[in-house]
């Protein structure tokens, strides 16, 4: 049975904390890392209804996209609304873990799930993130110990390249040295020239793992003074990770048809999907961003999108976009654009923990704060027929 710490390690491997915005509050909010986890519930929001749902389901862990706390707190008294939620979770023995902007940038992440829900293929990041800062470690190891050292460096976090692990380059050569008066050499004698058949080992590593990898090298290397150096690598825009996604529809559609497809592909909400654009416009290339993506409108237009699906769009931003570009805009609710991530993330966690006896479920509670919408009953039409329902 996996512990909470085991499950968190799997989640953070999928949703690297290093991808989160500096202002974000992610990770474990409450819970004992040593407790066994039998059931996990995924939800968008850590609110009273989903917390009660998790407790009723006897979940040991609630994973939410949105943080419970976005700013620092000095206490969580039960008299405070959010403090009351923390006390409820702790009393029930249910942990809370948050994957927010790190899940937005990860691949597969929030916008990948949204893109799949509306039928996009061959997607790329709309706004690529800088790659995780990387180092390269170059170590010189006696040939017979090389594979053991590669194993140790890999376990410490080196050698991960995309979907591959324990990636290393080894090159054979001869190392030479003279042990000094204070040395206690494993091979050779003090004051004498020694030559050893060695491998030069090169592996990349996240810069955040530098200390751990060096420690692992020193522990695994047979020499008392391992020869190594570390080189910082240049950061490049990621081809995998970033905010939003842009891709193509399998077949072109009119904006009217695509909007209907979006409405069918997202969970129902009181507000539905708002559309700004010519209903007959042909849509081939689509950009999406789960959650608030108004700041990416120009990015979507510059990337060649015919339409951009996101949420929380403001009047003036939409008005200026319609005046200055042909980009069609689709505005669903914040909750609806992020909900598709829940079943996608749940499937990945089941797969990652397939050898463990763990149940992963998705919240059935709609936590979109907008719970009703009314259409105007006036019979007076706007001069251009605006406000029509398609």
Pick from 292, 271, 289, 274: nearest CA to 368: 271
The residue to which tokens 């010189």 are assigned? 140
CATH 3.30.70.120 maps onto the chain at 134-232
CATH 3.40.1390.30 maps onto the chain at 4-100+340-362, 107-129+242-332
pLDDT value of residue 379: 61
Sheet holding 169-177, edge to edge: 169-177, 194-206, 134-142, 227-232
pLDDT tens across the length of the chain (390 residues): 899 999 999 999 999 998 999 999 999 999 999 999 999 999 999 999 999 999 999 999 999 999 999 877 878 888 888 999 999 999 999 999 999 999 999 999 999 999 999 999 999 999 998 777 899 999 999 999 999 999 999 999 999 987 899 999 999 999 999 999 989 999 999 999 999 999 999 999 999 899 999 999 999 999 999 999 999 998 877 778 899 999 999 999 999 999 999 999 999 999 999 999 999 999 999 999 999 999 999 999 999 999 999 999 999 999 999 999 999 999 999 999 999 999 999 999 999 998 888 999 999 999 999 999 888 776 666 566 556 655
- DSSP labels for 225-261? S-EEEEEEPPP-EEEEEEEEEEEEEEEEEEHHHHHHH
Pick from 15, 295, 241, 287: nearest CA to 129: 241
pLDDT value of residue 378: 66
Pick from 157, 93, 129, 120: nearest CA to 20: 129
Distance separating alpha carbons of residues 333 and 262, to the nearest angstrom: 12
The two tokens of residue 112 are 């990948």
pLDDT value of residue 163: 81
- The answer to whether the bond into 108 is cis (omega within 30° of 0) is yes
The fold adopted by the segment(s) 107-129+242-332 is 3.40.1390
Distance separating alpha carbons of residues 253 and 54, to the nearest angstrom: 40
Report the relative pairing of strands 282-292 and 307-311 from DSSP bridges: parallel
Dihedral-angle region of residue 389 (phi above 0 means left; psi in -120 to 50 means alpha; beta otherwise)? beta
| CA 289 to centroid of chain Cα atoms | 13
Task: Pick 4-100+340-362's CATH classification: 3.20.20.10, 3.40.50.300, 3.40.640.10, 3.40.1390.30.
Answer: 3.40.1390.30
The residue to which tokens 């324990």 are assigned? 166
- On whether the CB atoms of residues 124 and 247 are closer than 8 A, the answer is yes
Question: For the domain bounded by 134-232, which CATH number is listed?
Answer: 3.30.70.120
Distance separating alpha carbons of residues 52 and 89, to the nearest angstrom: 9
């Amino acid at each position: 049975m996996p512990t909470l710490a085991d499950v968190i390690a799997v989640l953070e491997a999928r949703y690297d904390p290093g991808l989160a915005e500096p202002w974000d509050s992610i990770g474990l909010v409450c819970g004992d890392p040593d407790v066994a986890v039998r059931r996990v519930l995924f939800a968008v929001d850590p609110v009273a209804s989903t917390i009660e749902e998790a407790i009723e389901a006897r979940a040991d862990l609630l994973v939410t996209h949105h943080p419970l706390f976005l700013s620092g707190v000095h206490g969580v008294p039960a008299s405070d609304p959010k403090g009351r939620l923390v006390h409820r979770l702790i009393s029930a023995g249910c942990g809370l873990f948050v994957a927010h902007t790190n899940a937005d940038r990860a691949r597969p992440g929030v916008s990948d799930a949204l893109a799949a829900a509306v039928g996009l293929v061959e997607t790329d990041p709309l706004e690529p993130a800088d790659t995780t800062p990387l180092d390269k470690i170059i170590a010189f190891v006696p040939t017979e110990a090389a594979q053991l050292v590669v194993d140790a460096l890999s376990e410490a976090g080196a050698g991960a390249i995309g979907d591959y692990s324990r990636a290393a380059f080894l090159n054979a050569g001869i190392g030479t040295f003279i042990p000094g008066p204070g040395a206690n050499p494993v091979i050779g004698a003090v004051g004498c020239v020694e030559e050893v058949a060695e491998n030069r080992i090169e592996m990349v590593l996240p810069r955040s793992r530098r200390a751990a990898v060096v420690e692992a090298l020193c522990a695994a290397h047979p020499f008392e003074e391992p020869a190594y150096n570390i080189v910082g690598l240049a950061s490049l825009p990621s081809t995998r990770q970033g905010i939003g996604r842009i891709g193509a529809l399998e077949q072109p559609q009119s904006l009217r048809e695509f909007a209907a497809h979006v409405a069918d592909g997202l969970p129902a909400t009181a507000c539905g999907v708002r559309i700004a654009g010519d209903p007959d416009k042909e849509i081939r290339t689509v950009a999406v961003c789960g959650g608030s993506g108004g700041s990416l409108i120009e990015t979507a237009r510059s990337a060649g999108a015919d339409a951009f699906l996101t949420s929380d769009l403001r009047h003036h931003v939409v008005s200026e976009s319609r005046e200055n570009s042909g980009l069609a805009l689709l505005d669903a609710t914040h909750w609806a654009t992020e909900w598709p991530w829940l079943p996608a993330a749940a499937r990945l966690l089941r797969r990652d923990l397939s050898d463990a006896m763990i149940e992963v479920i998705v919240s059935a509670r709609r936590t979109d704060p907008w719970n009703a919408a009314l259409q105007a009953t006036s019979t007076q039409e706007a001069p251009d027929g605006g406000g029509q329902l398609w």
